[in-house]
Structure 1
């Protein structure tokens, strides 16, 4: 008898292959075939039949791990590379995704993926996932989390599923990670009376008053405000250049738009800068590593305007404010001022709303805030844009008359 001759055993999917037993079965169009390497005795054949039944049951229930059932097969020995378990696939996906994102974003993505895998099951085979499983994931996540958090988890998990689809591990599953509709919240700007209360009652130190004034009259994002340096300010205090931001992990990076922008300054902001610069000049310049992306950075030799050391009561404090520290200080300022608490990001909304209420040019305001165009202004701050003022017609007509007086009346060329 040839060594590779195959003989039937009377048990479905159990064959005698040469001098060993081979197990063969199909599941969802995929053939599984393993040679056990044991003699084809009657007892071993019955054992193989039971092993085959158990493997099929594990496949159907989503808990199949090839190495558990067939540890000596060549495919099992390479299971970390070929496994279709969600946990193993995700472990392969994470480092591939990491090359395109910052370390801080990598941590947030990793946490989101871990939560989703824990909910579905890390050992679940991806080819056993159904759209209903993704829908159940959505229901489980939203039951105990905010809409914004749930949507972040779903978007991150969808990216992982799309990667699995592109590599042939599963069918179309990513499209079922539908995000929940989030109710839009209008900006909640400070009134001028609240702003005055912040300065008069909330701020006990000149640096705090200057910082709040600068935030309100420039519209900087909190991370941009905390990373602003003397070297970013024009000598005549007419403008600042926003070219870095600080993160919660005390990492400096480029602004949200990935490019620097120039912000022209109102008189209150100029006066505030005089106070902040006088304080920052007492500190030595430091080399800040500013990350441009995951793999590139630059070094800025600057003196940051704001430092916790200015008002520190402790001997050991950080050199720079991080967003959470500024959040705490802002909460104390609003509490002492006895005004309704808002996140410090509302100073940016205050700048936009005050400019719009004063009928500022939309393109100019968008440029000051770092928006590519003014469509974001219309979308977010529409209620502060007065489009039906009785004075609007008079203002436009006055401008047209001025234009008529200033533009010379050039003669028209006669047609040939």
Structure 2
């Protein structure tokens, strides 16, 4: 069947085709073509020309929505995969998912969906300007906390960098600038508060032992809840942190992806004996510990903290998750009559107490699972004594010893060289 010949209407990009009108235009190397079911009368042709001009303006402004201009026709170019922000995002999600855990994937997809909706999913990604990303930041921060917005921006910037690397757009990711977040000082327990917590707040020996271990090891809540009897040295001198537990009762490797050894101070040793004795009354279970999204291992262990130890209900969970531990911690704090703090402050307490006691920074950082001690300096700076006269005296004593030893070493070198 022969195609209907196009007739020139005298308006650029507007043709008469039989009993209809064809509108077409180019924008950034993409061709847009629509067929309007209108008789090619003079007035209808003028109407088509105005639609075409308005669509081009909207494309340049980044506000183009095909349904607003051509509700009964679709452009093959505008609907091609990878042209709209929403289409690209749906392609990006499964590609990103292979590198992250299912829990992280859920948080990533929530962040991406909110950013795409706020920015406009129907917009063409190559029409976006830095101004659009800056406007996205303004819209997000208007109703959300800084930490939440920064997570959204970090996630969305990854998507935009992916778009750039595939030549869908240029230099947009760098405009997802995170907001400056004030660093809140740690709020460690005073020793008197710790004693009140142990003596008044904790009515059960297991609670006393758990709080003592938390304060004297600096474990993260997820690490504490996943600690097992098999992770404790036979002489109770140390523990090996091998896993953590998430809110969805999923076991995974620690935050740094590496095991670490934590040496136990005397209070923690005694507390660990109580926890291990309780754990030995339970049978070991096979825990699936995820190393990454695709690999896991099986740990046959007895977890130290179990909700069943003090359970009043017939049916309870097998393991504590961070939120359950936070709830228990809140009850202990209220009963002790001390100022409320999140359970994570036990980790800060460990760091601050060790720093106040003039512990070695590298050692403390290693015990806490940090890559280096820069985090300690940044977060716990005011607990680090930088103006101690005792430190000056120690350094001076060392320098004097060095001054006495150096001449002797120099003389020894001379004597050895002569003898040779």
| Fold conserved between structures, TM > 0.5 | yes
Question: Are the equivalent residues in 2 in contact too, given 1:216–1:347 (CA < 8 A)?
Answer: yes
* Residue 181 of structure 1: how far off its partner (Å): 0.8
Structure 1 stretch displaced more, 96-105 or 157-166: 157-166
For 1:81, what is the secondary structure of its paired residue? coil
CA distance in 1 between partners of 2:37 and 2:164 (Å): 38
CA-to-aligned-CA distance 1:349-400 (integer Å, 9 cap, x gap): 1111111111111221111111222222222222111122121233345667
For 1:367, what is the secondary structure of its paired residue? helix
From the superposition, tell whether residues 372 and 33 of structure 1 become closer, same or farther in structure 2 (CA, over 3 Å): closer
Residue matched to 2:336: 337
Does 2:84 correspond to 1:81?
A: no
From the superposition, tell whether residues 270 and 63 of structure 1 become closer, same or farther in structure 2 (CA, over 3 Å): same
For 2:315, what is the secondary structure of its paired residue? coil
CA distance in 2 between partners of 1:244 and 1:147 (Å): 30
From the superposition, tell whether residues 50 and 105 of structure 1 become closer, same or farther in structure 2 (CA, over 3 Å): same
From the superposition, tell whether residues 275 and 398 of structure 1 become closer, same or farther in structure 2 (CA, over 3 Å): farther
Residue matched to 2:90: 91
Question: Are the equivalent residues in 1 in contact too, given 2:25–2:33 (CA < 8 A)?
Answer: no
From the superposition, tell whether residues 31 and 261 of structure 1 become closer, same or farther in structure 2 (CA, over 3 Å): closer
Residue matched to 1:357: 356
CA-to-aligned-CA distance 1:179-225 (integer Å, 9 cap, x gap): 11111112111111111011011111111100000011111111101
Does 2:14 correspond to 1:11?
A: no
* Residue 170 of structure 1: how far off its partner (Å): 2.4
Which aligned pairs between 1:80-159 and structure 2 lie closer than 5 A? 81-82=81-82, 84-159=83-158
Question: Are the equivalent residues in 2 in contact too, given 1:158–1:177 (CA < 8 A)?
Answer: yes
From the superposition, tell whether residues 295 and 101 of structure 1 become closer, same or farther in structure 2 (CA, over 3 Å): same
For 1:144, what is the secondary structure of its paired residue? coil
Structure 1 stretch displaced more, 100-109 or 375-384: 375-384
Residue matched to 2:417: 414
CA distance in 1 between partners of 2:273 and 2:349 (Å): 22
Question: Are the equivalent residues in 2 in contact too, given 1:231–1:302 (CA < 8 A)?
Answer: yes
CA-to-aligned-CA distance 1:322-343 (integer Å, 9 cap, x gap): 1111111111111111111111
Question: Are the equivalent residues in 2 in contact too, given 1:34–1:70 (CA < 8 A)?
Answer: no
Structure 1 stretch displaced more, 379-388 or 225-234: 379-388
CA distance in 2 between partners of 1:63 and 1:71 (Å): 15
Residue matched to 2:261: 262
* Residue 124 of structure 1: how far off its partner (Å): 2.8
Residue matched to 2:23: 23
CA-to-aligned-CA distance 1:303-326 (integer Å, 9 cap, x gap): 100011111111111100011111
* Residue 34 of structure 1: how far off its partner (Å): 2.9
* Residue 10 of structure 1: how far off its partner (Å): 2.1
CA distance in 1 between partners of 2:296 and 2:166 (Å): 32
Question: Are the equivalent residues in 2 in contact too, given 1:20–1:35 (CA < 8 A)?
Answer: no
From the superposition, tell whether residues 402 and 227 of structure 1 become closer, same or farther in structure 2 (CA, over 3 Å): farther
User: How many positions carry a matched residue from both structures?
Assistant: 410
* Residue 122 of structure 1: how far off its partner (Å): 2.4
From the superposition, tell whether residues 145 and 37 of structure 1 become closer, same or farther in structure 2 (CA, over 3 Å): closer
CA distance in 2 between partners of 1:101 and 1:227 (Å): 21
CA distance in 2 between partners of 1:157 and 1:380 (Å): 28
Is there any run of 5+ residues in structure 2 with no aligned partner, and where? none
Question: Are the equivalent residues in 1 in contact too, given 2:223–2:254 (CA < 8 A)?
Answer: yes
Question: So what's the TM-score if we normalise by structure 2?
Answer: 0.87
Is there any run of 5+ residues in structure 1 with no aligned partner, and where? none
CA distance in 2 between partners of 1:400 and 1:158 (Å): 52
From the superposition, tell whether residues 109 and 73 of structure 1 become closer, same or farther in structure 2 (CA, over 3 Å): closer
Question: Are the equivalent residues in 2 in contact too, given 1:51–1:69 (CA < 8 A)?
Answer: no
